[in-house]
Amino acid sequence: MSPAIRQYLIITGNYWAFTLTDGALRMLVVLHFHQLGYSPLEIALLFVFYEFFGVVTNLVGGYLGARLGLNRTMNLGLFLQIVALGMLAVPAAMLTVPWVMAAQALSGIAKDLNKMSAKSGIKLLVPGQQQGRLYKWVALLTGSKNTLKGVGFFLGGALLMLAGFKGAVLLMAGALLLVWLASLVLLKAELGKSRARPKFTDLLSKSRAINVLSAARLFLFGARDVWFVVALPVYLHTVFGWDFWTVGGFMALWVIGYGFIQTVAPTLTGRRRGAVPGRNAATGWATLLAIVPALMAAGLLGGMPGQPLVIGGLLLFGVLFAINSSLHSYLIVSYARADGVSLDVGFYYMSNAAGRLLGTVLSGWVYQAWGLEACLWISSGLVVLAALFAILLPERGVAAPA
């Protein structure tokens, strides 16, 4: 096994372990605090610091990755997640809103340090002329991560039922501690450390392609989270009467399927024919995606049966969103500079986190005020904005053979 493959597997395994706890923690917090009587808007506010500090972390984390090395930022992310889980293992009386928001802030920092490090690391393991292989590796990492995030959703619902909130977070903290110790030993030192010492002013991207793609990413992820983060699980539980097992299991299966589609996105978008996607692919797939939530909202307002419409629409949305997300993930790694790659990737994922922050706040507020239909209309409008920005991207050529 080549050193590059070995490091890719270590990075992927590290990312997988983190993602399991991240997905489980998200579901644990949503379901546990809904069970305690929190409103959808109050639950959404618990995640505001998670998303806000994700914005800050992606911006500053790219700088730290270039200065310190991606191995250090990845391991720091794992350690902070262990601390965040420990903060939630306190007696129930201490689980106040400010305390949970602080723990979520640490978790948000941890998640985006880990993700930025993993995505940047792959850029350094694939020769620049092998764009086909780069697309495949990024799709595999992104898709497998989201599949495991879906497993994490199910794990969170199951652990809440079996071990309670405190028991669940303690179990996850212990497992992640073992992964962190292994990562300290196995991950290559100096991975991703820039040869030139980057200045703090280098945080903001000077590349037009990355700026445009970052704007498209912001609106794309805002469109997903405006109805997926808070509105959908609460809707499934209150309107359809599903229990926590069913809600967690269904959303887990959705994210697992979404992750699988991401792994095969290179085939669906033309890689088998030697084409490397660019402006036209990003614009076309976003346009298709925008239609789905609009049709769902119109159907609900028109009195169509709720369960088949929401479930069927969610499945179609997941397929199209997975392809869009995988395309974007490849394009950012492709456009990024080889030296100081984490700066470009960090800036891009700052926009990703800003989109999640926008979607999370809107998800609780809009659902509480106007219902799921309004969330879906806003989702469609945000995807249209992502498609408009994608038109401004440079076109790509033909893939070099892997």
Distance of CA 254 to the CA centre of its chain: 14
With 60 as the cut, is the pLDDT of residue 342 above it?
no
- What is the number of other CB atoms lying within 10 angstroms of the CB of residue 208? 12
With 60 as the cut, is the pLDDT of residue 300 above it?
yes
- CB neighbours of 31 closer than 8 A, spacing ≥ 6? 156, 157, 160, 233, 244, 247, 248
Most confidently modeled range among 151-165, 223-237, 305-319, 358-372: 305-319
> Looking at the domain covering 3-189+206-390, what would its CATH class be?
mainly alpha
- What is the number of other CB atoms lying within 10 angstroms of the CB of residue 237? 18
Rg (CA), the chain: 20
Supply the mean pLDDT for the chain: 79
- What is the number of other CB atoms lying within 10 angstroms of the CB of residue 238? 11
At 291 the pLDDT is: 96
At 193 the pLDDT is: 54
Most confidently modeled range among 203-207, 322-326, 398-402: 322-326
C-alpha pair distances (Å), 120 with each of 58, 93, 148, 212 = 12, 41, 20, 19
Q: What is the pLDDT of residues 252-261, one digit of tens each?
A: 788 788 778 8
At 66 the pLDDT is: 65
At 396 the pLDDT is: 56
Q: How confident is the model over 67-77, as a mean pLDDT?
A: 77
Q: What is the pLDDT of residues 22-39, one digit of tens each?
A: 888 888 888 788 777 777
Question: How confident is residue 277, by pLDDT bands cut at 50, 70 and 90?
Answer: low
Among 139-143, 188-192, 324-328, 352-356, the range scoring the smallest mean pLDDT is 188-192
3-state secondary structure of 398: strand
Q: How many residues does the chain have?
A: 402
Higher-confidence residue: 135 or 242?
Answer: 242
Question: How confident is residue 82, by pLDDT bands cut at 50, 70 and 90?
Answer: very high
Kindly state the tokens that stand for 344: 């470009």
Helices (H), 47-130: 48-68, 70-87, 97-125
Which helix H or strand E contains 20, and what residues bound it?
Answer: helix 3-35
Strand partners, 288: none
Q: What is the pLDDT of residues 152-196, one digit of tens each?
A: 877 887 888 888 888 889 999 998 899 888 888 777 655 555 555
User: For the CA atoms of 28, 29, 31, 35, what is the dihedral angle to 10 degrees?
Assistant: 120
Most confidently modeled range among 51-65, 104-118, 136-150, 366-380: 366-380
Do the beta carbons of residue 336 and residue 65 sit within 8 Å? no
Domain boundaries, the chain: 3-189+206-390
3-state secondary structure of 275: strand
- Pick from 142, 103, 11, 113: nearest CA to 55: 113
Q: How confident is the model over 315-326, as a mean pLDDT?
A: 90
At 223 the pLDDT is: 93
At 402 the pLDDT is: 32
Query: Phi and psi of 54, rounded to 5°?
Result: -65, -40
Strand partners, 151: none
Q: What percent of the chain has pLDDT over 70?
A: 78
